Structure formats: structure tokens, C-alpha cells
Amino acid sequence: MNPANPVDEPMEESASQQTESSFGDILQQFEQEQAAEPKRAESSGPIKGTVVAVSEDAVLVDIHGKSEGVLPKPSLPPGSPEVAVGDLIEVTIIGRTDDGLILLSPIRVEKPKDWTGLLAAFNEKRNVQGRVTETVKGGVRVDIGGKAFMPASRSGTRDAFELNKLIGQEIEVRILSIDVEKDDIVVDRRVVLEEEAAKKKEERFNLLKEGDVLRGKVRSVTEFGAFLDLGGVDGLLHVADMSWHRVGKPADVVKIGDEMDVKILKLNANTRKVSLGVKQLTPDPWTVAAEKFLPGQKVLGIVARLTEFGAFVELAPGVDGLVHLSQMSWSKKVRKPSDLLKVGDQVEVVVLGVKPGDKRIELSLKNALGDPFEEAVEKYKPGTIVEAPITSIQAFGAFVDLGNGIDGMIHIGDMANDKRIDHPKDVVKDGETVRAIVLDIDQERRRIRLGLKQLQPTKVDHFIAEHTLGEKISGRIADVRAHSLRVEVAEGVYGECKLEEKKEEAAKPAAASASTADVGSLAEMLKGRWKEGKGGDPTPKAASLRTGMIRNFKISGLDAEQKRVSLELVD
């Protein structure tokens, strides 16, 4: 008691009595509520509560139930700070008191801190400013109004050197997790940097337009192209758009770090992909190909690549023509292009056709060497006799090699005289050298027709060789026509006899006619008439001639080349 103020002690006692009386009332009310509440099961889990009243031997805690719990003061750890109304406290329900009250046991008691701003930033996922203070195992410490840990993997740095450079810097971070009770905060800088980059990328993308030409830097090279940095936005330069000429692999054209002008070919607003081109900055060489390369023109080119069906020859940068397998050689059968050409060969070719719309040029390698068939036309005229080997036998005939890639064909019908053959093998053998005559040349179809039988003597040939002009012979009429007879003069040999109408003449004495008549012819005629049982005039009229009659004729013509025998009827 303060002696200077004698009324101090009574006032303190009165206040103390008033506090005890108020707490008693509260405790009595609490006991009454507990009496009406069913008994709660014992729980060992921690519960966060708020201190609502403190007495000398107990603490009343609001545990957000139907009633508060009682925490005996003796259960508090020695040296624990004083507990005051409003403090947050973590407790565990351990049972009931004898009076039926909820009995609590302390877990930890701490003074409240001002985490309001940090909790709000965490819940709203807002960025906060912080200062990097030190490096620790696995990351760094960041002061954001409380000590926070930032893992190295979320720092946005690539190595320890860059991480150390952050010490002392003010950075912007995002709170990943926060535990107020454990005073534990984890922050992330990488997500902030990524969002900023994405925002800049979006802004940059919205500025791009198809057709724009801009400067880019090669960031990476792949098998199918290269990715270029366009100032925050990546674009793909496909290998097909690097050059008008064929590119084997992108690494042959660009390398990381190269800067180049590119044209935006396409923008995809949904995927944010940008397609770039370099070759589009120069004119398409195919636009002038139709004017530069004309059918029939000889041009030089480089063999760019070989396929199963031919070879592609580069005539100009970006302009390739195809030499088909059939256009490679006149003289030999080329089974595959590599038998004749290899990549890099310089060749002279002839343009066969140009289709700029389809980007196709047809070329011929063999035409550049000259067409041997043109020479063959002059060399193998009809009637020319050749000797050549049989190269192929088919059912319809046989082919012979005339040299320089030129074949001649002998049809089965031109192989033998006077007999029918079933197959060319009955006359010729593969590889056999034969003597044949050129019968015909078809320049349009590039065919030379040969014959064997035309060089073989026939029955007509033998007849012509054995007889002379003016010679009188007998023959059998094989056919009677309007103005001619077809006469068989020997077995298998026929001659033609033209008939003339006989003019009226004055009758002559029979004796004179008989004296001038050929005795031998008359005898033959009479013999023939006798065989037929006829008599009368030895020079019958044409109307009286019949097939099968034997008459006397005179040879009026022998044509060995045309194999023709001409006759005159002897009166």
C-alpha cells in the first residue's frame, strides 16, 4: 500500500473482489451450458482456439464449439509467456473435468503477428516485393516482411553464380505457401519471370502481321528447321522455306547465333505459332522457268539426287528437272540411274517439256547425245541387206541388234518361204547371226522391219532362172478373169496372161494358115484338145476358155525383183 495514499489499498481489494466475482459469474454460466451439452468424445488432435478469459488457476479457450474449454494453468510449460485474452493458442481435448467441463491440454502458445498482408497476397496470388538477404542450403532467404525461403529451382537462375548475384537485390516474388503457426513462408520468383515473359510475348505476338519482314536470331537448330527469336516471340523457319534449292539439312544453312531477315508466312492465333521463310524474300525461280527453258533446248545441269525412276538435275537454283529412266540411254537398258550417273555429275540434257504450274521439267539425257535412229534411217534404207545377231525371240517374231541401241524386228510371216511355221524358234535361235533385208522403216514409231524369206530363193526365182523371154510353154488355166488369165506354169509358180479382143479379119485359105502355123504348137494344142475330147478351131476365143484347160503360152516378161511371170496366149 502506498502510504501517501491511504485509500489505495481498499480500492485494490475492491477491484480484485470485483474481478473474482465477474469470473465466478462467467464460470457459473459456462458450467450451466456444459450441463446441457452432450459429453464430447476424447480427441488427441490439435485445435486452434482464442483465449476468452484468464483466472489464477485456469484459462478459458474458445475452441469454436458449443462451449469453451478449460485449460488448467499448471499444465502450461514452465517459463511460458503470460497468456492474455485474445491470444491464439493451440490445444488438445483430453477429456472432461469432474464437473463435466471440456478439459484442454496446451500445445504451443505464441504471440500474435501481423501476417494479414502476407496472407492476403497469398490468397489473391499477388506478387510481393522482397530483398534477398543470404544464401542457404537449397536456395536463398528473402525478406518480404517476414523471413521467406526461395528454392534455387524457383529463383529463375541457371546456376549458383547467377543465384549468388541476387544477394542484396530487390526482387518480385509470389508466395507459394505460408504457415503462420510454423513461421514458414516459401516464395517463387520463376513464376513471376515466366508470367512477365508470357505477357511480353503476347504483346509482341499481337504486333506481328503476316507478310512482315523482320530481323531474327537463330536460337536452336533441329532436323526439320530452325527456331528464331523475334524479340520475345519464337518463330519456326522450316527447312523447306530456307532456300529455293533443295537443302539436305538445316545445319548446312544456319547455325545458332546467326542473325537474318525473315518473312512471316503464317500466324496461328490459337497456338501462337509463327511460320517464317527466307526464300520468299527472293523471286520464285519457277516464275521465269518457262521463259528460260524451252522444249528442244540443250542445257547444262548438276545431278542433285537419284531415285528409283530417274535422276533430278538442277538447272538453276531452285529449279530441278527430271531425267526419267527411259530417257537416259539409247544403247543400253538402264535398270537404275546409279548405273549411269552419280550425285554431283555435270550433264548436258535436252528439255522435253516445261510445266511451271506443276514445277516440273522433263529432261532427256540420251537426246543430248544425238538420236541414233536418225542415222539409222539413212543407213538402213529399204532393200539394204544386213547381218545382225538375234537378241530376243517372241511369239510374233524376233529382234536383231543393228548396233547403237537400234533394234530391227523380223515378223514371223517374213521368216520362211513356201511353208507355214508355228513359232520363230523353228527358224532362228537366240544369239544366232542372220542375214536379212530391210523391208520398211517407221520413223514415227521408231521401228525397222526386216525379212529373212525375201532373201531365200523361191519356186518363182528358180523358174525365172531356168526360162527366157519368148520361150513357148504350156500351162494350166488356174483362174479366168475379165481380161486376164492366171496360169500355173509349174508347181507353185503362176504367171499372168492378158487377153485382148480379136479383130475381124478377112478369111484366109486354110492351107496358108496351116503353112504358117507352128507345127510344134499345133501338135501341143491338138494333143490338149484330144485329151479334153474336143476338136475344132485351134485358136478358141476368150469366152471359150475354162479353168483347168491346158493351153500354150509364150513368156512375155520375167521380173526377178517383183517375182512376176508374164504370158501371152498362143493362137
- Would you say residue 7 has pLDDT above 80? no
pLDDT of residue 116: 83
**Does 411 fall in a domain?**
yes
What the block records as the C-alpha cell of 119 is 496472407
DSSP-derived 3-state class of residue 487: strand
Torsion sign, CA atoms 145, 148, 154, 158: positive
| Domain boundary, last residue among 233, 256, 281 | 281
Q: How far apart are CA 254 and CA 243, in angstroms?
A: 11
Greater model confidence, 267 or 82: 267
The mean per-residue pLDDT over the stretch 534-561 comes to 76
The mean per-residue pLDDT over the stretch 210-219 comes to 92
**Does 19 fall in a domain?**
no
Over residues 329-362, the pLDDT tens digits come to: 876 677 889 888 999 999 999 999 988 888 889 9
Across 56-101, the runs of DSSP E, i.e. the strands, are 58-62, 69-72, 88-96
- Would you say residue 236 has pLDDT above 90? yes
- Burial (Cβ within 10 Å: 0-12, 13-18, ≥19) of residue 482: exposed
- Would you say residue 40 has pLDDT above 70? no
- On whether both 561 and 482 belong to a single domain, the answer is yes
- Burial (Cβ within 10 Å: 0-12, 13-18, ≥19) of residue 214: middle
Place of cell 499345133: 522
Greatest CA separation found in the chain? 214
**Does 199 fall in a domain?**
no
**Does 533 fall in a domain?**
yes
- On whether both 475 and 557 belong to a single domain, the answer is yes
- On whether both 338 and 364 belong to a single domain, the answer is yes
Residues 6+ apart with CB under 8 A from 166: 132, 140, 155, 157
Q: How far apart are CA 219 and CA 232, in angstroms?
A: 11
pLDDT of residue 316: 85
Q: What is the DSSP letter of 334?
A: -
pLDDT band at 390 (very low <50, low <70, confident <90, very high): very high
The mean per-residue pLDDT over the stretch 545-568 comes to 91
Greater model confidence, 430 or 536: 430
**Does 23 fall in a domain?**
no
**Does 306 fall in a domain?**
yes
Are 409 and 450 in contact by the 8 Å Cβ rule? The answer is yes
Over residues 294-311, the pLDDT tens digits come to: 898 999 999 988 999 999
- On whether both 468 and 443 belong to a single domain, the answer is no
**Does 252 fall in a domain?**
yes
| Domain boundary, last residue among 281, 311, 337 | 281
The boundaries of the domain holding residue 136 are 116-194
Give the CA distances from residue 563 to residues 376, 419, 463, in Å, rounded to whole numbers and listed in that order: 28, 17, 10
- On whether both 480 and 562 belong to a single domain, the answer is yes
pLDDT of residue 502: 52
Are 213 and 261 in contact by the 8 Å Cβ rule? The answer is yes
| Domain boundary, last residue among 76, 110, 144 | 110
- Would you say residue 27 has pLDDT above 80? no
Give the CA distances from residue 271 to residues 161, 224, 398, in Å, rounded to whole numbers and listed in that order: 35, 19, 67
- On whether both 190 and 228 belong to a single domain, the answer is no
- pLDDT, averaged across the chain: 81
Q: What is the DSSP letter of 547?
A: T
Are 556 and 568 in contact by the 8 Å Cβ rule? The answer is yes
The mean per-residue pLDDT over the stretch 404-418 comes to 86
**Does 149 fall in a domain?**
yes
- Would you say residue 114 has pLDDT above 90? no
Give the chain's domain count: 6
Q: How far apart are CA 251 and CA 248, in angstroms?
A: 9
